[in-house]
Amino acid sequence: MALLTRPISRVSTWLLLGLAVVTVVIVAACSSGGGSSSGSGSGSSGSAVSSTSPVIKSFEFNPSPISVKVGTAVTWTNLDATNHTVTSNTGAFTSSDIGQGKTYSYTFTKVGTYQYHCAIHDYMHGTVIVHN
């Protein structure tokens, strides 16, 4: 009987560890911060990944482009150790400096294609395509 409790204990430990990891991922995905504003724009085209939580990692916005429905809040999370911004090329939205592990959110309220960049690192570019 002692032989059966040991493997069950290991399985239970791995199961609990797996559940803990899944819980952490879900909580991290649901958390948000930063400001929220209205969007505007015109035109919509191109193929894009559907996402509301792009990340800033290795000095890139990923994924990009992204495609969202009107009324969607997009939340960028900075995973780099250096500050970045999310700044619309047309001035429609701009974040303050986003530190490591911090977020910025913006709600897109009109159909359009929104190109943005990092004001600190001007070679970093991204696109949000908003559709009905």
Number of domains in the chain: 2
Do 53 and 24 share a structural domain?
A: no
**Residue 64 falls inside a structural domain:** yes
- Residue 94: closest CA among 60, 64, 118, 67: 118
- Do 56 and 81 touch, CB atoms closer than 8 A? no
Do 56 and 2 share a structural domain?
A: no
**pLDDT tens figures, 41-91:** 333 233 455 568 999 999 999 999 999 999 999 999 999 999 999 999 999
Whether residue 65 is preceded by a cis peptide bond, meaning omega within 30 degrees of 0, is yes
Do 59 and 9 share a structural domain?
A: no
pTM: 0.63
**Where in the sequence is the domain holding 10, given as residue range(s)?**
1-30
